[in-house]
């Protein structure tokens, strides 16, 4: 005998009109059970004020409600194993056996769909043959987004959970940076009602991905699209009815089109923001700059039209900075990739996190980089972690006018360093490239003295290994050294041999090329040695004076000069430690 009033509103009316009606004491009858033993769900209520999230994203959580994925591990494993294909009802019954709360029920349905329904690439191209009815989707085991969303909605309703299929525009497969959206919607997803609020999910995108030619689907589960925070979901999903953005304020289609597309990898890797926030960048005087903010410990790489040769990327503790210098005018695709530095093997690949289009009007030819330059450039938290602390030069580029420069670091324990200098063209053979850099050690300080053979752009590469390790040296980082002074022409440093120890030091002569027919002054810092000789045409002993071995040697009549040491006064043999060349007349 209870009076029931029913108001009917068109679906698109704004939610404020709808009063929630309490159905009084007779309402139990309505819930009832249907003949299959499932609870009927109430008709979904439209979103209201308490469903809304602030836009832009507050960087707090990737999800719209607290979710502890570890607590789902058992349930997830159970849901994956359920193998019921004869009816949707039976499938839901089986899945709900291990699910108590509404959240667990939704999770079980989500997990099952993401791992058992594949995207129908053939059906996508021939939609007339396609049914998105839940029963058919289950039998076929494949569908397009429409079928995923309808199956999800139907399974939730059988489980007694309010769920709604939503449609709209998506920046999905085939999306081109900066494109506009017109006409009918092109994607479908769901909203589910949990713990008193609406939440968003996309089981199509949760299940995997399609290759570029849209002919092959690969299962690749993506956690990101389960209960995604609405301020992140709007990044690539724009619902036909803007109330279902669940945002305050809501975005216009124009804003959606102009917004930067961050894909799910961007957020799953803990990245926070990218600048600029517009997808199309104009170069200014041939240069464009991009930066990404992130949590510590993230490595980056980039490709401009498929190569990383036309930029200068520096790695900072909380992100990276990239200056791009395209060497051709026109539009260039810029992709930025990231990975965690201490990733498990499965995650140890760079994933594309953001794309830009760089429009270049003029080329800065001066910013052509040597092909040996390796990204990132300059010191970073990564080189620090490898034991190169307190760098004297934090910038990636060193400018020198006289062709000489010097860098210092504090070295971590037990580190042996190797360096080499590289330039484009064949001006520097590899062994000579090593000899234009001199290491000087003082305690745990290392100084790298660089003398350039000529003007131009050079790459200084720095390698290291543990002294206790017999293995090879690992590449750690590099600098770009630039010198515009065409007068510059420094000879290489003298060649050193294995008996020349790390903490020895050449005070003079630093040049590996000695003048002919001259008396040359020698001053070398060496310890633990009985005798030092300089061998030219004649042999010249050096004398020890306050920790230095000093003396002169005449270079006439010879092409090479060697420094030799007697390690033990009782031995008759000498070891070569240094070799100098003498100028030809």
Active site members? 145, 187, 202
CB 303 within 8 A of CB 329: no
**Cα(388)–Cα(342) distance, rounded to whole angstroms?**
19
HSE of 259, CA atoms in CB hemisphere, 13 A: 23
Beta bridge partners of 228: 63, 200
Give the three-state DSSP class for 493.
coil
**Cα(378)–Cα(395) distance, rounded to whole angstroms?**
6
CA 342 → CA 91, 326, 339, 474, distances in Å? 40, 32, 9, 17
Any idea what DSSP says for residue 579? E
Angle between helices 73-81 and 102-116 (to 10 degrees): 50
By residue count, the chain amounts to 585
Nearest alpha carbon to residue 503 among 578, 418, 444:
444
Task: For CA atoms 426, 427, 432, 438, give the dihedral sign.
Answer: negative
Place of tokens 């910013």: 367
437-442, strands of its sheet edge to edge = 388-389, 404-411, 445-451, 437-442
**Cα(300)–Cα(314) distance, rounded to whole angstroms?**
9
Question: With 0-12 CB in 10 A as exposed, 13-18 as middle and 19+ as buried, what is 66?
Answer: exposed
Contacts 24+ apart (CB under 8 A), 571-574: 574/533
Which ranges of 344-471 would DSSP assign to H, the alpha helix?
A: 381-385, 430-435
Exposure string over 150-172, b if 16+ CB within 10 A, otherwise e:
bbbbbbbbbbbbbbbbbbbbbbb
């Amino acid at each position: 005998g209870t009076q029931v009033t029913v108001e009917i509103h068109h679906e698109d009316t704004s939610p404020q009109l709808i009063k929630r009606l309490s159905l009084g004491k007779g309402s139990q009858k309505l819930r009832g059970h249907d003949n299959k033993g499932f609870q009927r769900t109430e008709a979904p209520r439209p979103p209201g004020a308490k469903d809304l999230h602030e836009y832009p994203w507050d960087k707090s959580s990737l999800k719209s409600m607290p979710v502890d994925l570890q607590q789902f591990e058992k349930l997830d494993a159970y849901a994956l194993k359920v193998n019921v294909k004869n009816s949707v009802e039976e499938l839901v019954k089986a899945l709900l056996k291990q699910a108590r709360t509404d959240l667990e029920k939704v999770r079980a349905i989500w997990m099952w769909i993401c791992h058992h329904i594949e995207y129908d690439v053939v059906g996508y191209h021939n939609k007339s043959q396609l049914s998105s009815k839940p029963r058919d989707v289950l039998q076929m085991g494949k569908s397009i987004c429409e079928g995923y969303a309808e199956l999800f909605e139907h399974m939730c309703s059988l489980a007694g959970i309010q769920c709604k299929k939503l449609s709209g525009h998506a920046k999905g497969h085939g999306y081109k940076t900066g494109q506009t959206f017109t006409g009918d919607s092109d994607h479908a997803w769901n909203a589910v009602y949990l713990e008193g609020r609406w939440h968003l999910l996309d089981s199509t995108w949760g299940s995997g991905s399609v290759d570029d030619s849209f002919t092959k689907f690969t299962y690749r589960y993506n956690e990101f699209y389960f209960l995604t925070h609405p301020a992140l979901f709007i990044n690539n999903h724009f619902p036909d009815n803007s109330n279902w953005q669940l945002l305050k304020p809501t975005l216009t289609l124009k804003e959606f089109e102009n917004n930067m597309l961050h894909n799910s990898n961007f957020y799953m890797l803990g990245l926070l923001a990218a600048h600029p926030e517009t997808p199309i960048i104009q170069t200014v005087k041939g240069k464009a700059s991009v930066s990404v903010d992130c949590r510590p410990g993230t490595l980056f790489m980039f490709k401009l039209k498929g190569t990383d040769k036309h930029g200068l990327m520096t790695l900072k503790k909380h992100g990276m900075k990239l200056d791009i210098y395209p060497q051709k005018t026109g539009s260039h695709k810029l992709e930025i990739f990231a990975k965690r530095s201490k990733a498990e093997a499965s995650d140890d690949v760079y994933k594309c996190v953001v794309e830009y289009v760089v429009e270049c009007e003029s080329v800065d030819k001066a910013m052509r980089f040597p092909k040996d330059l390796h990204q990132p450039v300059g010191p970073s938290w990564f080189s620090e972690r490898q034991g190169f602390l307190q760098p004297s030069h934090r910038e990636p580029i060193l400018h020198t006018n006289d062709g000489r420069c010097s860098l210092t670091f504090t070295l971590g324990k037990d580190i042996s360093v190797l360096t080499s200098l590289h330039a484009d063209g064949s001006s520097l053979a590899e062994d000579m490239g090593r000899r234009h850099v001199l290491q000087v050690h003082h305690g745990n300080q290392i100084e790298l003295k660089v003398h350039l053979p000529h003007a131009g752009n050079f790459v200084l590469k720095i390698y290291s290994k543990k002294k206790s390790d017999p293995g090879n040296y690992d590449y750690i980082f590099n600098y770009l050294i630039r010198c515009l002074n065409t007068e510059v022409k420094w000879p290489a440093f003298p060649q050193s041999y294995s008996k020349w120890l790390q903490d020895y030091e050449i005070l003079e002569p630093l040049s590996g090329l000695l003048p002919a027919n001259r008396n040359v002054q020698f001053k070398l810092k060496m310890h633990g040695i009985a005798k030092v000789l300089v061998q030219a045409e004649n042999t010249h002993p050096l004398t020890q004076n306050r920790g230095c071995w000093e003396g002169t040697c005449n270079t006439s009549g010879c092409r090479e000069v060697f420094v030799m040491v007697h390690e033990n006064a009782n031995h008759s043999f000498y070891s070569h430690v240094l070799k100098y060349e003498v100028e030809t007349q």
